[in-house]
Structure 1
Amino acid sequence: MNFNLRGAVLANISGNSQAQLQDTIVDAIQSGEEKMLPGLGVLFEVIWNHASEQEKHQMLSTLETGVKNDNQ
């Protein structure tokens, strides 16, 4: 069986407001469920693909700092 996860996630959130998107992200993170990680990955892919080079640099800087702090 071939399941298009990207398509399913994007179809599920298409038309959502910023508040609804934020709720989706916060709920996925707070639930701590591993099964939510692929969906968050799809959302990050959308963000990354639509970000400027400056925004990408800022995300990478934030990620680097966060990873270092979470591993201490």
Structure 2
Amino acid sequence: MDLNLRNAVITNVTGNTQDQLQDTIVDAIHSGEEKMLPGLGVLFEVIWQNADEQEKQEMLDTLENGLKKQ
């Protein structure tokens, strides 16, 4: 991923409240636009990098279970 895109996404959401972050995520998912996927990836990267091992395992469990339902 282009480093400029990563920095742009982080800059755009830095300082946002939890409600604003949630709105950003929900809007990106509901829009269904492919161009939103890299931004969601950057947000997930931030979550992953700041999660402890238990939180990472919970995310992996949630992801695995969610993919089974697809």
* Identical residues among aligned pairs (%): 71
**Equivalent residue, structure 1, for 2:27:** 27
How many angstroms apart in 1 are the aligned matches of 2:55 and 2:3?
Answer: 31
Q: Which structure has the bigger radius of gyration? A: 1
2:7 aligned with 1:7: yes
Shift in Å, 1:39: 0.2
**Equivalent residue, structure 2, for 1:60:** 60
**Equivalent residue, structure 2, for 1:45:** 45
TM-score, structure 1 length as denominator?
Answer: 0.93
Structure 1 runs not aligned, ≥5 long: none
Aligned residues: 69
Alpha-carbon deviations, 1:2-61, whole Å to 9, x = none? 761110000000100000000000000000000000000000000000001000000000
